[in-house]
Chain A
């Protein structure tokens, strides 16, 4: 960003223009005790060389997946990103995070979005996908609002097995608009069927489930879909999922989902300390006019040449103002592009292989860990690439210990779920080698042995 000088003469002129004597006068309403007296207590200026050395020292205090072996999941995963992804998205023709304001002159950008949408439809089995939303969580919030828009009801149901962060976002989106959010309890690591039967009613606007769910377990989507259709015929069935899992699992569309939402980070996007990511959002065609976000369509120009346009833009804020379909009139352009390059470089077969490797390695690790004394798998459910361990020590303690072995061991569930002090959520991706998996088991074994000998 360019720097615009502000000389004492400039300052005087501005003060005169607004009719005050001094800059101090503008600050009068801030109590003296809250204001800094004198200069800020910061070190003297340093040279560029010194600054770089300082920045490097500070950044080296961070631990990242570049130097620590990660078993972290919970919605974002350490998948391998082929070099071609960053190479293509950083080309100057593409390299902007922003969605174009005069889109039709940016045919390349529109074509990439169109390809993205087509690939998401192929992956999810849904009719239509938008050009992406902010992330998986806000995508679910938008889906809840869409369900209410379509059904004219004022309540949505969300399972306790949906990512707790996403649940918080859905609650934030809904409560501010007077929509009630009812939480379905779980049983044995999946949504409780009886609770679902009890809670469904004709007033239900939408039901949100997640599979693979937050604990990695697969939900019986087809069975629950049938119950929803029977007991809440108007309700939209919204499924949150992991896009990579669709390389090996049935897609939610086969369970008749109306909307499929996913965190798209796993498709070629770096972890980047929490974002930016992208929200994958796909639905049945009959709901397309109530869909949040942008949609690119293919057409022909007056010379009969193929071209791309933004369609249904007329329902967005720039035209409809406060009556717009949603407050989204952008997309995660660069992240969606990364997902597009990722999907096209792997292809259908490649995504299937990645999914397959994730699952097989996760089962290998789970089997070897549960064979250890005092460690067990909490749930006897089929899972994709994540599972929950019950440890003989608090999970936070295990996480600290494993860091000394250069391992991010997983997520301690006690932060989000009560009574789960000793439970650890472990994720495995295709990147983990047999050596790394065995090292995890050995490190855990050492921790358990140390704990046992200490307590006896």
Chain B
């Protein structure tokens, strides 16, 4: 299974891409997570401007057979959500690292990012 090297990962099977110049992190779920969940049918996402706490649930991802929580990997403010997922949640299954991105958070403390996992380390969690 493919895990892009330029991304960071969490134990909750999410990926994060940090844009240092903007101080904004983009979040999605990994290829492993989407294949475990199966067909994703609905997402419940926070409003733009709401507060995110590292390790706390931000929303839910509903698949045919289960519902999983989406956890925030960092503390900050939600700055954008992927509205394309409203009509096409299957983008997460089709393109988890691209068009299936879920939301963006303006990071309060970039130090928190150091706790995230490398692609190599995350891969061991999925084996």
Task: Name A's B-contacting residues (CB within 8 A).
Answer: 289, 314-315, 319-320, 323
Measured CB to CB, the closest approach of chain B to A313, in angstroms, equals: 9
**CB distance B63 to A289 under 8 Å?**
no
Measured CB to CB, the closest approach of chain B to A324, in angstroms, equals: 9
**CB distance A289 to B66 under 8 Å?**
no
The 16 listed contacts between A and B (C-beta, < 8 Å) are A289-B42, A289-B44, A289-B62, A314-B62, A314-B63, A314-B64, A314-B65, A314-B66, A314-B67, A315-B62, A315-B67, A319-B66, A319-B67, A320-B67, A323-B57, A323-B69
State in angstroms the CA–CA spacing of A314 and B69 once bound together. Answer: 12
Task: Name B's A-contacting residues (CB within 8 A).
Answer: 42, 44, 57, 62-67, 69
- Known A-B contacts: A289-B44, A314-B66. Give 7 more (CB < 8 A): A289-B42, A314-B62, A314-B63, A314-B65, A319-B66, A320-B67, A323-B69
Measured CB to CB, the closest approach of chain B to A257, in angstroms, equals: 24
- Our count of residue pairs bridging A and B at CB distance below 8 angstroms stands at 16
Measured CB to CB, the closest approach of chain A to B4, in angstroms, equals: 29
Measured CB to CB, the closest approach of chain A to B58, in angstroms, equals: 13
State in angstroms the CA–CA spacing of A205 and B65 once bound together. Answer: 31
Contacts of B64 in A (CB 8 A): 314
Minimum CB distance partner of B42 in chain A: A289
Contacts of B44 in A (CB 8 A): 289
Contacts of A314 in B (CB 8 A): 62-67
State in angstroms the CA–CA spacing of A113 and B57 once bound together. Answer: 34
State in angstroms the CA–CA spacing of A243 and B44 once bound together. Answer: 33
Minimum CB distance partner of B44 in chain A: A289
Contacts of B42 in A (CB 8 A): 289
Contacts of A320 in B (CB 8 A): 67
Minimum CB distance partner of B47 in chain A: A152
Contacts of B69 in A (CB 8 A): 323
Measured CB to CB, the closest approach of chain A to B53, in angstroms, equals: 16
Contacts of A323 in B (CB 8 A): 57, 69
State in angstroms the CA–CA spacing of A238 and B31 once bound together. Answer: 42
Interface centre among A314, A320, A323 (most CB of B within 10 A): A314
State in angstroms the CA–CA spacing of A319 and B66 once bound together. Answer: 7
Measured CB to CB, the closest approach of chain B to A143, in angstroms, equals: 20
Contacts of A289 in B (CB 8 A): 42, 44, 62
Contacts of A319 in B (CB 8 A): 66-67
